[in-house]
Structure 1
Amino acid sequence: MMKITEIRHGRAIIWFSAVLLVFLAATDALIVSQQRRILLNIQRRCVNNELALMATLTREALLKKDYRTVEDFLVQWGSEHTDMLEIRAVMPNGFVLAQYKKESSARQLFRARSSVAHEGEHLADLEVIKDFTGVEDSMDKLSAGLVSASVVLVAFLGFFLWYTLSVTAMRPLEKEISERRKAEERLQGALSLLSATLESTADGILVVDKKGVVEQYNQKFAKMWRIPQSVMSASEDAALLQFVSAQLRQPETFLEKVRELYAAPELESSDSLEFKDGRIFERYSQPHWIDGVIRGRVWSFRDVTEKKKLEMMLLQSEKLSAVGQLAAGVAHEINNPLGVILGFAQCALKKSGDVPALDLPLRSIEREAVRCKELVQNLLVYSRSSNKNEREHIDPVPGIQAALSIILARAKTQRVELSTDFQSSPLKINVNKGQLQQVILNLCNNAMDAMPGGGNLAVKTSPASRAGGAFLRIDVSDTGHGIPDEIKSRLFEPFFTTKDVGKGTGLGLALAHEIVENHKGAIEVESSAGKGTVFSVYFPVSGEPPANVV
């Protein structure tokens, strides 16, 4: 009731204000028009007076036909009067004796003309053009001031009327309105608490009545099922079922279960739903009881996709662990026949001097046997089953260069520009040369994988200091797509990879990390998405060779 009264009063005030504003606008326009007429008349009289004065001052020069003096006078007069745009002295035959003119973009011009005569003789005509823009500007300012004053006056009167009517007409209703408002606030508070409770849950919740009409839902439900607002606003269970069932791998099974629950409202139920895109939801459904009577049904959905993935990853990890142990055993078994093959190949090489045709095949056997042995040793390093740790006291640069020579062909094919920057004075470290090369190869291959369309790959060595000790630092940097922050902490986990299936095992960085740590070094990474990556490897510098120098 109070709102209806306020509306009526508001309409009356609006009509009164509109009529008053129209009246004041008409009055303002009349005042501005009258003031413009008065100012223009004053300006015209001033121009005519100026013309009369100019005629008097130029008459003598015109009598003497001293047109140069006339022209100088006109120029001086025009220069001293900023609103004067043009002055001309014109003979009776139309010939212009003298003229002063300046460029202007004036919006309001006034033209005037006066004759110069002496004893009845017509000597010349003086014509002027003046800028009357100042008059228009004055009128604009006056008009703006009047409009502003009118608006302020109307606003003041409108507020005064509204306040008067509010105090006199609405006071009897204040008590009733206040009580209603308090009751509404209590109800709104209860509804807000219920809504906040629903929205704070991790599950998607849907409440329908016995006819399937949607009564309430939280935003989590719509977001989980990716339901557009147009479908949710329909408030019909049938429309929702049609939309959500299309996303499931077994829609008929789901719809059959829904029909079964609607046929038996007292039943409670739960199961798992598998989506076509790989998501997995746990579904719970139970009757909605109010005062001992079933009013509908409550559906609850929980996204367990990540949970299922973690369970599968754990199972896969256990399988890979078993495979790793098996691989370590196989590597031990392969080591012995490889040693025999390598030994016999080297012996045959020493005795093949008389048969040149055997030299190339034997050297190929030796080279490939050595490569296989190194691969086995790398596998044993990662599985921690190798008891050897053969290291050399060397300058690592030649070994790094040898490793880079292996990837040159791929770099050229992939349009990757390879650059190196090695320190001038050699720094010797105790390192397994093959494992050092394995680290460099793994980092460089990963860098090129990050630049499928080409880019720059740089390898740099430099002295560094860490924890008070001297280290050799090897930087491998690329201009690829970078590494997102959320996966940096998992880079060195075994079998973790972001590459497509079949393109990566997730062991490259893990192996590099294991090798560097076994050499009492460190490996660090600096990267951000879209800005490239820098891997920094640190090996301790040693002045003494290790005890097992080969």
Structure 2
Amino acid sequence: MYQWIDELKNTQNHLQQEVTELKKKEVQLQKSLSLLRSTLESTAHGIMAVSLQGNILDFNQKFVDMWQIPNSLTLSRDYLQCQAFFENQLKYPEAYSQVISEISNQSDLESSDILELKDGRIFAQYSQPQWLEGKIIGRVWSIWDVTQSSQIEETPQLKPVSWYTLAETTNASIFVIQGWDLSYMNPAAEVLTGYTKTELLTGFNSCQLFKNKKRKQVCNKDLEYQEMKILEKNGTERWLACVVATLDQQQASLEMIAGIDITEYKQAELDLSQTLEQLKQLSELKAQFMSMVCHQFRTPLNVISFSNSLLKRHINECYEEKTRPLLDHIQSGVEQITKMLDDILFFAKAEAATIDYDAKPLNLVDFCNDLITRMQTNDSENRINLLSQGSYLTACMDQKVLEPIISNLLDNAMKYSPIDSEVQFKLFGECGKVVFQITDWGIGIPIADRERVFEPFFRGSNIHNLPGTGLGLSIVKTLVDLHRGYIAVESELGVSTTFTIMLPAVKSKL
């Protein structure tokens, strides 16, 4: 026994070192994510990231402000509702629907377009697939307001004085190129490039300024969207998102370029790819670590459990009264550690999205009743009262993935409730989703703990000596996210706690 205990201690020391290294890497990743978030929020572009399955992953505040998205949509992030909202804002929604259809049929397609809104604003829109290790994992959309630029493009119909005033006062950088020579640039272009008009308008070859042009036809007018890389006077390279127009049909070589600086966006795009790769590596590292923990602990635990059983069987009856409680404590400890290892291993699989998911039509009422029967044995001190919408509610879900979500919440509700109290379990359908709502009348969750309640290994400050691993709610949150569902908690200290889960009722792939 002492030898096994020493082995466990050595294993624990090794694991503590591994945990320390893992935490350092996690802190570094959090810093990278924080920097990426700051970059996305500071850019002048509206940016939205969408998964390959069409779910909205994130968007910055600029995107919300430009589209004037209501709070209800920013909270739900329902892609279909958002798409309907966008179409309702557009002057020509049919063209937008065609673009979405083309992208849906060809996931690696890069797309550019000009969107005219009913309120008179004009947006330039660009989207490209997001790649990770040779696979497309989603799509990033960016938009920016080109209303002023579009007005400038119509300058042939304006009086010369009006055109000049508009060009000189706009924040967009404007260049007019005839052949290879620059014939006009506005003050904003001077600030951007670091060159003066005198330097650029006296025989300066535009090829020295514009280093890269990525042309895309965006409509049937004499108009193109281009991403250009320019070289400033000090040698710095910057990216411009430009609208290029032919000013005179008789002089096809005469072009006007109106552009805005998107260098920060291009850098954020690169940072996003790097951060996604780091996230993937960290997830794999954590999964490997969890598996190693389970392997290291399980072998000595099996030996201890087996030896404990032998001791109980062959112990001398005269010593049984004194030793039996000690052996029971050992067995209880082994069972608790085994439960923790099972939770850790399941959590690692869920977080790394390696769980086999096989959704099939499932009668949720029967499923919940069976689960309650197994959990609520004859010696259970608390009762579970199921309130369902009728006796038959079907959804396409994987029973083995759904079971740990519900069982963990019910187990917590009974564990933290007073003896002989009732746990209320509601089940109903709402707007194409299935809602599970579990309420207990127990100790409640302190306000300071609610923001961290789904963190791995976190346990509330008021649970005292109640046993637990601190992984149950983390597993629940991870599995709900994999279902593309939603979980919320409401609690009043010393009164009650309610967990609400909403899961899609239709089949989806994890």
The TM-score, its normalising length taken from structure 1, stands at 0.29
Relative to its length, the structure with more helix (as a share) is 1
The TM-score, its normalising length taken from structure 2, stands at 0.30
Comparing both chains, which one has the higher relative contact order based on Cα–Cα distances under 8 Å and sequence gaps of 6 or more? Answer: 2
Q: Which structure would you say has the larger Rg?
A: 1
Relative to its length, the structure with more strand (as a share) is 2
